[in-house]
Amino acid sequence: MTHFSPQVPATATALADCPALAQRAGVGRVLVKVESSRPFGNFKILGGMTAALCALARVTGTPMAQLQERGDLPRLICASDGNHGLAVAAAANIAGAPATIYLHHSVPRSRAERILALGASVYWVAGTYDNAVDAAAEAARVDGILVPDTSADIDAPIVRDVMFGYATMTSEINAQLATGGITLSHQFVQAGVGGLAAAMAEGLPTVKLAIVEPEQAACVAPALAAGRVVRIAGSLRTCAEMLACGEASAPALAILRRHNPLPVLVSEAALLQAATIMHEEVGIHTTPSGSAGLAGLLDVAGKDDLREVTGLTSSSTVLLVATEAHPDAIIHDSAINLVAARGLVPRLLPDEG
């Protein structure tokens, strides 16, 4: 496995060349953007922290550099499967604001403990991620600023700020590709509510996009088919915990519809196998959520009709995103992560200093 080292900021995550995955998929090249080295071990810091800090500055009329001096900042509120809430809690800690993160009862307690370690409160909600989304929105109507990564409002400014933060990743990828003289043909991107996939579609508009979802919790595919957001029924239980969402984001869906992506639904067995392959064959220790793109690639690569539909060939160059570190590979020191997150702010929000 080769990591490209282009002239991009030191905070950029690696783009790994993985010939073992290319051989498995019968393609020319597979590149993996490895997001496990971000602060707190996942890509969500790019979006959640950006949107939360922008929201605090906008609502209070305070320059971002002066937020911590106020001492009377409103409460940040969001729903999460874990990672978005961690990013919002980090923003609150950096700015000196209170925060409450709404989690549904299927979220592992270890993820809640990381949020609590940042000084945020956790409120547990019965049901699914979507029930937590509803509860957080109701709480924010009474007191606080809602920092969602999904919305039924196609023009929701904070959700657009989240996706703007995610676009940092595609800026890095484009610089890394240019340094390596590489042209992508395909990208297989996992979808929860669709925000990451939308940011990847916009940032890499000439690259064919496949959106990968668990069969047990696929909300973007039916929304694309219906041409509108729909809430799917069921428990949404999947080993890809970060993708357990029952309703797509309207702002993300509007973007995705312009790019005509291929929806790919994968089984629980395929998700688990992809995480194992990613770890054992290329040394990237991630979760079934983090390796869902690989599960989708291998599913399409193994079916002649889908290879033909997508134009996937032995010379294709495919991008995947390993979106989060496996819990066993995460740096759990909150102080270290906060220092790294604080150092990332000038890159995410250069006009704010």
> Which pLDDT tens digit goes with each residue over 84-103?
999 999 999 999 999 999 99
Q: What percent of the chain has pLDDT over 70?
A: 97
Distance CA 161, CA 24 (A): 37
Q: What is the mean pLDDT of residues 47-73?
A: 94
AA identity, residue 115 = I
- Angle (CA) 121-126-132 rounded to 5° is 60
- Angle (CA) 148-150-153 rounded to 5° is 105
Distance CA 126, CA 105 (A): 6
**pLDDT recorded at residue 11:** 80
AA identity, residue 177 = L
| Domains (range + CATH), the chain | 2-42+161-329 (3.40.50.1100), 44-153+333-343 (3.40.50.1100)
Q: What is the mean pLDDT of residues 45-52?
A: 97
Residue 295 has which token pair? 């599960």
Give me the sheet containing 145-146, strands edge to edge: 121-125, 99-104, 76-80, 145-146
- Angle (CA) 343-121-349 rounded to 5° is 25
Contact 137, 150 (CB under 8 A): no
**pLDDT recorded at residue 9:** 62
Give how far Cα 244 sits from Cα of 133, 164, 166, 239, Å: 12, 22, 19, 9
pLDDT band at 353 (very low <50, low <70, confident <90, very high): very low
Q: From the DSSP assignment, how many helices (H) and strands (E) are in the chain?
A: 14, 11
The string of pLDDT tens digits covering residues 291-350 is: 999 999 999 999 999 999 999 999 999 999 999 999 999 988 999 999 999 999 998 988
Find tokens 């707190």 and name the residue: 40
DSSP-derived secondary structure for 145-172:
EE--S--S-TT-HHHHHHHHHHHHHHHH
Give how far Cα 126 sits from Cα of 102, 135, 196, 223, Å: 10, 10, 26, 25
Q: What percent of the chain has pLDDT over 90?
A: 92
Give CA torsion, residues 22, 24, 26, 32, to 10 deg.
-30
Residue 270 has which token pair? 């395929």
Residue 321 has which token pair? 């995103």
Nearest to 146 by CA among 67, 88, 81: 88
Residue 144, sorted as left (phi over 0), alpha (psi -120 to 50) or beta, turns out to be left
What is the reported pTM? 0.95
Round the average pLDDT of the chain to a whole number and report it: 94
What 3-state class would DSSP assign to 240? coil
Nearest to 203 by CA among 243, 163, 159, 253: 163
Residue 36 has which token pair? 């496990």
